[in-house]
A and B are shown apart, each in its own frame.
Chain A
């Protein structure tokens, strides 16, 4: 019962966050100091513009405008893209872009964690010794190269010189699994390098702290192997920061891969936002940001639920406060 109450409260909090974020973005769109109708529809006549203002509620004042937008949003109407003459909808674009971004994010996370977890565990286990120094220094170099630079180097070397992988575009599963991954490898690598060094450093620091704990000596005195101690006794209590950070970067990867999506023409959500800004499609911008906020909030909730599994102490702390 207490647990249910806790989760209801938590969901309610996140709901409030969503409302505040979307209202904030809605206000931003309203305070653009030029007539929205003019920039969204540069070649329309005054009648069309008036119809546009009325249709999206620009004549209603900030709150009325927001409520109308919200009402449409929850019904799945995210507005239109007006430079197309109003035939294309924002939801149509996002539905096409979202799977690309989600898959790109998922592959990036799986790849980054898959590399970072063994590296972090190894460098904590060998802290201060050669393996640790090699790992730390290499990652430091990689983390200081921005993702787009890695992307460009990959395009030049792997895409152009070696001609192993396509440099542009996206392929769906139905076009062949291998074709799909061929288009994903380079964007995923470009996005991963920074994350790998971030994750490895987080895990290494927490593992080193945990390795000093008495329960590690206790596990040693039971006669367990180092491997077993590292993975079963030390990794889990040391992984909370890592997983929190990973979950929060998922939200960022969905909308924030703008540069990488543009370089590789993946045309995910990040690219759509970029296009919306470039084409002055502020309604699309507003709706896209709301969708990304929705994912952020969702992954936050996942962190909350997941941390209870990783560290049971947080589970009771919630209801005992």
Chain B
């Protein structure tokens, strides 16, 4: 199976007054063409930074990215900013968590939507506007002509997210990064947006990286899942396999902490004790060891490398679940 996006040993550090902050550490991940890959993990586990770094959207003198990112045959990490930019829109696109802050507050929807078409595809102003209207209809926005003339603050959250999706898919990207696209929306709208993304993905033959902290969203919308913890990918497997046969204790703990309706009322919610390790001062051994109920001495002294099962299931653990000790 060919990879559309292949990230090899990518690390991202931020220089902070307290020292170097390792947000992403040695991530290796392959996004197969045409597939949907979920990235899950707690807040602060590096999901968003990984996506933005993969596209090269992190800028500033305090950001250091190392490793290799290859997208569709282009080695992004060896290209200039201007060359990478050529791939945006028609190659890669991104939708963001909060559509209110990700849309420019002072520009009309039509201008923001047609801009990419004009800059990337070289459309004329009127063609781009006409296409923008079609795009709004494609993401099921009623009264598209009026919405084109609106400002973001005049739309509801769900509508804004639809507008953002329309912007992201406007140049027909091969890969869509969806960074928590439903987190800022209420539950009914969430379902509609996910449904829309599923349909668009099929129609446009688009691959997707779906970043979320909601395992329920992952289960229904992805072919593969990468679990991230403390800036590392700790488990990567086809979605069905991961849920049926997880190897990483962190994934198990994450699943156990989902509240369930069939629990008796009054049951305490399961939580993962402790907190994410300080990103400027990671543990020597396994990052999860301090919170892991299976942790042994080796876990606190030696950092586990990624292991790959014969069936392709990848995990980072000395004592994976299901292996006799």
A contact set with B: CB distance below 8 Å: 128-129, 213-215, 217-225, 228, 232-233, 236-237, 310-313, 316
Contact = CB atoms under 8 A, between A and B. Distances in A.
Contacts of A128: 61
Contacts of B89: 222-223
Given A129-B61, A228-B119, A214 B96 contact: yes
Interface stretch (B4-12, B35-43, B103-111): B103-111
29 contacts: A128-B61, A129-B61, A213-B101, A214-B96, A214-B101, A215-B102, A215-B104, A217-B94, A219-B104, A220-B88, A221-B88, A221-B94, A221-B168, A222-B89, A222-B119, A223-B85, A223-B87, A223-B116, A223-B120, A224-B116, A224-B119, A225-B85, A236-B107, A237-B104, A237-B105, A311-B105, A311-B106, A313-B105, A316-B154
A187 to B, nearest CB: 36
Contacts of A313: 105-106, 151, 153
A221 B85 CA distance: 8
A236 B104 CA distance: 10
A224 B96 CA distance: 17
Most buried by B among A213, A214, A316: A214
Most buried by B among A219, A222, A232: A222
B115 interface: yes
A294 to B, nearest CB: 31
B167 interface: yes
B52 A217 contact: yes
Interface in B34-93: 52, 55, 57, 59, 61, 82, 85-89, 92-93
Interface size range of chain B in the complex: 20 to 34
A164 B237 CA distance: 78
Given A218-B94, A223-B88, A312-B105, 14 more contacts: A214-B98, A215-B102, A217-B52, A217-B96, A218-B102, A218-B103, A222-B115, A222-B119, A223-B120, A228-B119, A233-B107, A237-B105, A312-B106, A313-B151
A311 B88 CA distance: 28
A55 B164 CA distance: 71
A219 B87 CA distance: 14
Contacts of A316: 153-154
A312 B85 CA distance: 30
Contacts of B98: 214
A233 B101 CA distance: 13
A218 B96 CA distance: 8
A82 to B, nearest CB: 54
A225 B151 CA distance: 23
Contacts of A220: 57, 59, 88
A225 B82 CA distance: 8
Contacts of B106: 236-237, 310-313
A222 B119 CA distance: 9
Interface in B102-150: 102-107, 115-116, 119-120
Nearest to A213: B101
Contacts of A215: 101-105
Interface string B4-44: 00000000000000000000000000000000000000000
Q: Which 8 A-B pairs have the closest CB atoms?
A: A223-B88, A214-B102, A222-B116, A214-B101, A221-B94, A215-B104, A218-B102, A223-B89
A42 B96 CA distance: 76
A217 B99 CA distance: 12
Most buried by A among B59, B101, B104: B104
A316 B151 CA distance: 11
A237 B133 CA distance: 25
Contacts of A213: 101
A219 B103 CA distance: 9
A225 B118 CA distance: 13
B135 to A, nearest CB: 13
Nearest to B168: A221
A223 B57 CA distance: 10
A189 B286 CA distance: 64
A238 to B, nearest CB: 10
Contacts of B82: 225
Given A129-B61, A313-B151, A313-B153, A222 B88 contact: yes
Contacts of B115: 222, 224
Contacts of B61: 128-129
B76 to A, nearest CB: 13
B15 to A, nearest CB: 11
Contacts of A311: 105-106
Interface in B152-186: 153-154, 164, 167-168
Contacts of B120: 222-223
Nearest to B170: A222
Nearest to A312: B151
Nearest to A226: B81
B74 to A, nearest CB: 14
Most buried by B among A215, A219, A316: A215
Contacts of B167: 218, 222
B258 to A, nearest CB: 28
A127 to B, nearest CB: 9
Nearest to A235: B106
Contacts of B164: 218
Nearest to B104: A215
Contacts of B168: 221
